[in-house]
Structure formats: structure tokens, C-alpha cells
């Protein structure tokens, strides 16, 4: 098969890496790709939002299967556009992808079907939102309704911080139109957990649980990012809690989408909080997580192409999906200044040394320049260590991370520490 992956970040590098292992895949193309993906696939300089050009390219090759990585094209209807041209594509249609594209839609869906989530109110008017906020107490959560590259959520520790976040979203428009509507939500206390699932309608095949680290600094301090690291499995969280989340949240959500005439086909990502009252929903995403994909896909033993084809052919429920017992830990190396403004074009050294140690290096924000690999994004690289347990995988990830050098490099030093504390 000739396969095309849409996207150019660390998640897409992990997807390309997993697809490359399949004996069913002849050639892989990636639009637009990055410097790391270029070693596995032919990168095509077409943006993820240029549907007409992507369709034209897919027909010219011709492409046998398209796999969509990022959220924006899914929310904008890329699956609908390719299906209209009879090109096989894996991902949810636009109406199903709204579960990520609109936090308000998601919250209303969960409320309607009695699926556990935080208490909330939604607003389109800043003054009304501010008046409501001033009647609440901190900590409290402020969310922009639309997509914001993983940064449209503020967990405010003080009311001053909450009011600033609300003003930034609704008045200053730091996230553009995504902040025209907001969700003000109760703060949920507990441990976070991510469960990605292959979903086809009401068929749900969960992947092993993972845990992401959103704040930029150690100890969960500082502003939220797109994710500074992740690990899988979660040895300190009982399997019964994972099973409860699948049965009470993920399966009912898939069923609810079918009931609403929005059947979901693709990867459904559940961001969950394990509270004293059990798991509750923080968010849903309509695609693989980033950087969750970087630790979950390396644990997948079943051919990813077989899973995708089974889903497209209505046979997902029949497939035996196998996972390695090995642990994986991903440490994100970020650019100076991230998640704020950051420089680009700084040369990266030590990649071969890190890979020689056995680490997987997934490129997130890189480019090629004059034969060198340089920084080209806020999150630059995902360094994945694997081992018999979290401690071994974590040690290998950090040894490899230390071997990689670029000016201004920063990363969290406590990824997966929670799993070792128990």
C-alpha cells in the first residue's frame, strides 16, 4: 500500500514509525512532515489545511490510505472531503470531530447522557462570564471553546489569574475566534490519566493508559503546554479504575455520538481525572494524543495497518489487538521560551548518540538546513526510553535526552516520577 500521513509533529513521526513496520506498506508520504519524518517517508510540502492540493496529490500517486494526525484538519472536515473523492481515510468526520472542536458541544453531550464530568457553565458574553466568575472561588478552570494548540485551558490558582485568563480569551483574543465562547468549570482534584481508544461507532478498543505532563516546569508549575512528557503503563493506578473509565465514560460517549447521528471512527482520546468519586472527564480529543502516541504506539504489537483497515471495513470488534508489557517514557525537549515565543534555527547535535543508546527520537519541531537538523518549533523532540518497568525506561529516556544538545534546550526532570512514588 501507498500511505499518506497528514501532519508534521511528534505524533505524526510516531504514526509514520508504526506504519513503517507493516509489511503491507510499500511507500509512506507525509504532508508536510519534518526533518525526522524525512528519514522514514517522503515529505510533501503541502499544509494540512490545503485539502484540494492534498486530494490532488493523493490521486496522482495514487494513495491507498490516508491517516490524519492533527486536530485542526479533522475539525475542518478533511475526512468528509477525502471520502467525497472515494479516497480511503482514517479519522472521524467533521460532525464527530466536534467533540474536540467545541468544548461546549462536548460538555453538553456529556451532560445530556449522564457521563461523569466537572460542573460547568458556558458563556458568549464577557461581562456575564466575569460576573459568574466573581461568584465562584479558586482554584477554577477557564477553557476557550475552540481549538488552541493544546494551550486554551487555564487552571487558575487565584481569582486574579482566572480573571486575567478570561480577559485574555474573550477580550484580548489571544486564541482568536476559539475564545469567542468559554467554559468555566469546577476544578477537579486527583491524578490525570489519558486513555486513547480505537473506535468504530459503538465498538471501543482501548489502548493502554498513559499520563501526560502539561505544565512547563517540574512539579506541575507554570503555564500549560501541549505536553512536556508522558509515560505508559501507569503501575500506580489500579486496572479497576481504568476499566471503570472505559465502561462509564468512553463506551457511553461513543454510543452517545452514534445516538446523535455523529458516529465516530478513528482514535478517541479521553483526558480523565481520577477523583475521590471515581474517574471524570476533563476533555475528549478526536485523534491520537501528542505526546501520548509516542509512548503508546511503541507498545503496540499488532500491525497498525491491520487495525485501521479493520475499522474502515467494520471489523474492529473481531481483531485481536496485542500490547507489549514493556514500559515507555517520553521526555519532551523544548525551545527556549516555550510555551511563549521562542527562537528557531538552532542546530541540534547528539541525535545519533541518543539513538545509539536505544532511545526512540520522535521529531516534533525540526527542519533541515544546510545538512544540519535545526529547531523549528516550541516542542522540538520527544525522547522515548523503553524498559522492563517505568524506572528503567525513565532512566534510558533521560540518558538519551542529556546526549542531545541545542542552545536554550529545556525539559522537565520529573516525567513519570509520580509512578515511582506510588
- Residues 165-171 have a mean pLDDT of 94
Instruction: List the one residue out of 178, 95, 186 whose CA is nearest residue 137.
Output: 186
- Residues 305-311 have a mean pLDDT of 98
Give the model confidence (pLDDT) of 81-128 as tens digits.
999 999 999 999 999 999 999 999 999 999 999 999 999 999 999 999
- Residue 149 above 80 pLDDT? no
Whole-angstrom distance, CA of residue 258 vs CA of residue 79? 17
- Residue 151 above 90 pLDDT? no
- Residue 178 above 90 pLDDT? no
- Residue 224 above 90 pLDDT? no
pLDDT of residue 166: 95
Residue 248, CA distances (Å) to 124, 206, 266, 313, 385 in order: 30, 13, 20, 27, 32
The 8-class DSSP code of residue 277 comes to: T
The answer to whether 397 and 330 are in contact (CB under 8 A) is yes
Q: Provide the CA 308 distance to its chain's centre, in angstroms.
A: 18
Confidence of residue 148 (pLDDT cuts 50, 70, 90): confident
CB-based burial label for 402 (10 Å; 0-12, 13-18, 19+): middle
The answer to whether 199 and 254 are in contact (CB under 8 A) is yes
Return the residue matching grid coordinates 506498506: 25
Where is average pLDDT lowest: 62-66, 146-150, 307-311, 390-394? 146-150
- Residues 266-277 have a mean pLDDT of 96
All domains in the chain, ordered by first residue = 2-93 (3.40.50.20), 119-186 (3.30.1490.20), 191-318 (3.30.470.20), 327-421 (3.90.600.10)
The answer to whether 123 and 198 are in contact (CB under 8 A) is no
- Residue 277 above 80 pLDDT? yes
Confidence of residue 15 (pLDDT cuts 50, 70, 90): very high
Order the strands of the 360-363 sheet from edge to edge: 211-212, 229-232, 327-334, 379-387, 360-363
Task: Write down the mean pLDDT value for the chain.
Answer: 96
Instruction: List the one residue out of 311, 317, 267, 326 whose CA is nearest residue 293.
Output: 267
Where is average pLDDT lowest: 144-148, 173-177, 248-252, 297-301? 144-148
Q: What is the pTM of this model?
A: 0.94
Helix (H), strand (E) at residue 79: helix 78-84
Alpha helices in 227-346 (DSSP H): 239-245, 251-259, 292-296, 304-312
The answer to whether 301 and 208 are in contact (CB under 8 A) is no
For the chain, the C-alpha Rg in angstroms (whole number) is 20
CB-based burial label for 114 (10 Å; 0-12, 13-18, 19+): exposed
* pLDDT cut 70: percent of the chain above it: 99
- Residues 123-135 have a mean pLDDT of 94
Strand partners, 323: 300
- Residue 422 above 70 pLDDT? no
Whole-angstrom distance, CA of residue 27 vs CA of residue 67? 13
Amino acid at each position: 500500500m501507498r500511505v499518506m500521513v497528514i501532519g508534521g509533529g511528534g505524533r505524526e513521526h510516531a504514526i509514520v514509525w508504526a506504519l513503517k513496520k507493516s509489511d503491507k506498506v510499500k511507500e509512506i508520504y507525509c504532508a508536510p512532515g519534518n526533518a525526522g519524518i524525512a528519514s522514514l517517508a517522503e515529505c510533501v510540502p503541502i499544509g494540512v489545511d490545503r485539502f484540494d492540493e492534498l486530494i490532488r496529490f493523493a490521486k496522482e500517486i495514487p494513495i491507498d490510505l490516508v491517516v490524519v494526525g492533527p486536530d485542526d484538519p479533522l475539525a475542518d472536515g478533511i475526512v468528509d472531503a477525502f471520502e467525497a473523492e472515494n479516497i480511503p481515510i482514517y479519522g472521524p468526520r467533521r460532525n464527530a470531530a466536534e467533540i474536540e472542536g467545541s468544548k461546549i458541544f462536548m460538555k453538553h453531550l456529556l451532560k445530556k447522557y449522564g457521563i461523569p464530568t466537572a460542573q460547568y457553565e458556558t458563556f458568549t458574553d464577557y461581562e456575564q462570564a466575569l460576573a459568574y466568575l466573581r461568584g465562584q472561588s479558586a482554584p477554577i478552570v477557564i477553557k476557550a471553546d475552540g481549538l488552541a494548540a493544546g494551550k486554551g485551558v487555564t487552571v487558575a490558582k487565584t481569582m486574579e489569574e482566572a480573571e486575567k485568563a478570561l480577559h485574555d480569551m474573550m477580550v484580548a483574543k489571544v486564541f482568536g475566534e476559539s475564545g469567542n465562547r468559554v467554559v468555566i468549570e469546577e476544578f477537579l482534584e486527583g491524578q490525570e490519566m489519558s486513555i486513547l481508544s480505537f473506535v468504530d461507532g459503538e465498538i471501543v478498543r482501548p489502548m493502554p493508559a498513559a499520563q501526560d505532563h502539561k505544565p512547563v516546569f517540574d512539579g506541575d508549575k507554570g503555564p500549560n503546554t501541549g505536553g512536556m512528557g508522558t509515560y505508559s503503563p501507569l503501575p500506580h493506578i489500579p486496572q479497576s479504575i481504568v476499566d471503570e473509565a472505559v465502561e462509564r465514560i468512553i463506551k457511553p460517549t461513543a454510543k452517545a455520538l452514534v445516538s446523535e447521528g455523529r458516529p465516530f471512527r478513528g482514535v478517541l482520546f479521553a483526558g480523565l481525572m481520577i477523583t475521590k468519586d471515581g474517574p471524570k472527564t476533563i476533555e475528549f480529543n478526536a485523534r491520537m494524543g501528542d505526546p501520548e502516541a509516542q509512548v503508546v504506539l511503541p507498545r503496540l504489537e499488532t500491525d497498525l495497518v491491520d487495525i485501521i483497515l479493520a475499522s474502515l471495513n467494520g471489523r474492529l470488534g473481531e481483531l485481536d489487538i496485542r500490547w507489549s508489557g514493556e514500559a515507555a517514557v517520553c521526555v519532551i525537549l523544548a525551545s527556549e521560551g516555550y510555551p511563549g515565543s521562542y527562537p528557531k534555527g538552532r542546530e541540534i547535535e547528539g541525535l545519533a548518540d541518543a539513538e545509539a543508546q536505544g532511545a526512540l527520537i520522535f521529531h516534533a519541531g525540526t527542519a533541515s538546513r544546510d545538512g544540519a537538523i535545526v529547531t523549528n518549533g516550541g516542542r522540538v523532540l520527544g525522547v522515548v526510553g523503553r524498559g522492563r518497568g517505568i524506572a528503567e525506561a525513565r532512566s534510558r529516556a533521560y540518558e538519551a535526552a542529556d546526549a542531545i544538545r541545542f542552545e536554550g534546550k529545556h525539559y522537565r526532570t520529573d516525567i513519570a516520577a509520580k509512578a515511582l512514588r506510588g
